[in-house]
Amino acid sequence: MTPIAVTIAGSDSGGGAGIQADLKTFAALGVYGASVITAVTAQNTQGVAAIHDVPPHVIAAQIDALFSDLAVNAVKIGMLSVPLAIGTVAAGLDRWRQAHVVLDPVMVATSGDRLLAPDALALLKRDLMPRALIVTPNLHEAAALTGTPLAQNEGEMRAQADALIALGAKAVLIKGGHAQSVQAVDLLVTPAAAARFSAEKIDTPNTHGTGCTLSAAIAAGLAKGAPLAEAVADAKAYVTAAIAAADELAVGRGPGPVHHFHAWW
């Protein structure tokens, strides 16, 4: 059987994040990728110029077209900028009984541009977190989701992960790449256990799309049948290598993308 993963996210016209990053990640990791586009962004390495939200009935039609035909093994959810999109995707997950769901709660682009409407945050927590196998917030997203200050250490990261589990998340991967430290430490927390994933930080400005890439890589691992902790470990290794090779690319005049095909080019 061909492993298949679907990304439900926004399009990045610059190719470094969103749907484009997810499909590149799936391809690099040996998984067939399909997509449901929730928003179209006019975006490059320097920022987001415009966002057009795809109408909910078109999102639903994409979901039904894919899941009625493809044997989908995993789903990655990224940018859902408005409440109607969140409700539509939640209903689609229920309709097609998807269990291997990776939720990346995208709120702000690498450039600093907001991608999630303020009134959509509560719905994301209520309607999508309980439907996901794993939620993958960075430090800023974890703080917003829990209504607490930015975590300053691993103990506070763990506390925020526990708070998200109390809200219905089955597992939480809090990504510590934005912390002021020499190591990029991610914590995978479930109701029963916690695991720590660490990698040396790489000095490069070219980190556009890292969050999208990591969540897509986890979905790729799940699509191939890996247990959750193994999928997270493999995804962390892939993203670290993609960041390390990012300076081999020359894309745009702002923070460039990670190198999704570092093993091939």
φ/ψ of residue 66, rounded to 5: -70, -50
204 catalytic residue (yes or no): no
Superfamily of domain 4-248: Ribokinase (3.40.1190.20)
Beta carbons of 58 and 28 less than 8 angstroms apart: no
Spot the catalytic one: 207, 213, 221, 240.
207
Percent of the chain at pLDDT > 70 equals: 94
Tokens, residue 229: 């902790």
d(CA 123, CA 96): 20
201 catalytic residue (yes or no): no
| Model confidence pLDDT, tens digit, residues 115-154 | 666 777 888 889 999 999 999 999 999 998 999 999 999 9
- Specify the pLDDT at position 183: 79
Spot the catalytic one: 209, 213, 221, 236.
209
| Model confidence pLDDT, tens digit, residues 16-41 | 999 999 999 999 999 999 999 999 99
CA torsion angle 118 87 165 141 (round to 10): -30
Percent of the chain at pLDDT > 90 equals: 83
Spot the catalytic one: 87, 176, 177, 211.
211
Spot the catalytic one: 136, 146, 210, 213.
210
- Specify the pLDDT at position 217: 98
- The H or E element containing residue 49 is strand 47-53
Average of per-residue pLDDT across 62-86: 95
207 catalytic residue (yes or no): yes
Look at residue 111 and tell me whether its pLDDT is greater than 60: no
24 catalytic residue (yes or no): no
Spot the catalytic one: 18, 146, 212, 213.
212
Look at residue 227 and tell me whether its pLDDT is greater than 80: yes
Beta carbons of 81 and 10 less than 8 angstroms apart: yes
- Specify the pLDDT at position 201: 87
| Model confidence pLDDT, tens digit, residues 243-261 | 999 999 999 999 999 999 9
- Specify the pLDDT at position 113: 55
Average of per-residue pLDDT across 216-231: 98
Look at residue 4 and tell me whether its pLDDT is greater than 60: yes
Spot the catalytic one: 125, 170, 175, 236.
175
Q: Is 199 helix (H, G, I), strand (E, B) or coil?
A: strand
209 catalytic residue (yes or no): yes
125 catalytic residue (yes or no): no
φ/ψ of residue 36, rounded to 5: -120, 115
Q: Across the chain, what does the average pLDDT equal?
A: 92
- Specify the pLDDT at position 122: 85
d(CA 14, CA 251): 9
pTM, 2 dp: 0.95
- pLDDT category, 224, cuts 50, 70, 90? very high
